[in-house]
Amino acid sequence: MEKYLSYSQEVLEAKEKGLPIVALESTIISHGMPYPQNVQTAREVEQIIRDNGAVPATIAIIGGKIKIGLTDEELEMFGNADNVAKTSRRDLGYLLATKKLGATTVAATMIAAELAGIELFVTGGIGGVHRGAETTMDISADLEELSQTNVAVVCAGAKSILDIGLTLEYLETKGVPVVGFGTDMLPAFYTRESEFTVNIRLDSAEEVADMMRAKWDLGLKGGSVIANPIPKEEALDAGFINGIIEKALVEAEEKGIKGKDVTPFLLGKVKELTEGKSLESNIALVKNNARVGAAIAVALNQNK
């Protein structure tokens, strides 16, 4: 793996000292938020993880290497650079071979984290089964990765632009636990609740760590969705946001936007139609996930 993995000095020292590490994706920087909020949020999220006893490792593809932990200059580069590839499982080999820049999605970040021995990953929301997937077969590679890669994923549930019911069905088929962190209902990214319940409710980082350790000790491959609701004061009204998402979906279909281009288009349109409120919510939920993720990483590290 030395041929393909490169570590920041901070992460390297954390590994040598046996400190808890939290993986972070880079797609949220390159494709998920506008500049300068993207870089500012990335820096603040990293600091939240440090402040809560763990070490952040933002992951990206640079110069034919999977970089585990980015420098401040590299964060800035991913916030501004053109032609950064949105990187999932299928893209990793190509981007490493061609030495092109790649920002990692949930799936690619999970793969890289496992290669680097990192057990906990914090993101905004997971991908899932897209609306209309019964005819388009548009299903995120994130779900398959959750079923086979041993990394726990802290998120604010599934993005409400998805078919949440089918996403849960897919995860159930693949044996992926969906844990509500302090909640019985699955959060839907911008909102604290959806119409769906979680498989398991756990109320502390220690309980989550104990569950994951038992799962992996049994040789049960795959991760888990740790669904952490957006803070109440930052949540959007469900009727309001769902109406906007419906409008955005219609426009995407009219414009023929498909595949991996759908999510960035929908998130951009939602931001436009909510007059920026969705971006504020997105930033708030990622920071909240970072706090919870750091606590779980600390507990996992103590429970090896």
From the candidates 159, 215, 271, 287, which is the catalytic residue? 159
Per the model's pLDDT, the better-predicted residue between 167 and 267 turns out to be 167
Q: Which pLDDT does position 260 carry in this prediction?
A: 65
* 25 a catalytic residue: yes
Q: Distance between CA atoms of 2 and 20, rounded to whole angstroms?
A: 21
Backbone phi, psi, residue 95, to 5°: -70, -35
* 99 a catalytic residue: no
Q: What is the CATH number of the domain that holds 224?
A: 3.40.1790.10
From the candidates 10, 15, 25, 114, which is the catalytic residue? 25
Give tens-digit pLDDT for 26-80: 999 999 898 999 999 999 999 999 999 999 999 999 999 999 999 999 999 999 9
Annotated binding site for Mn(2+): 138
Q: Distance between CA atoms of 295 and 59, rounded to whole angstroms?
A: 20
For residue 131, what pLDDT band results from cuts at 50, 70 and 90? confident
Q: Which pLDDT does position 46 carry in this prediction?
A: 98
> Within 13 Å of residue 6, how many CA atoms lie on the same side as its CB?
11
Mean pLDDT score across all residues of the chain: 95
Q: How many domains does the chain have?
A: 1
> Residue 249 belongs to what domain range?
5-302
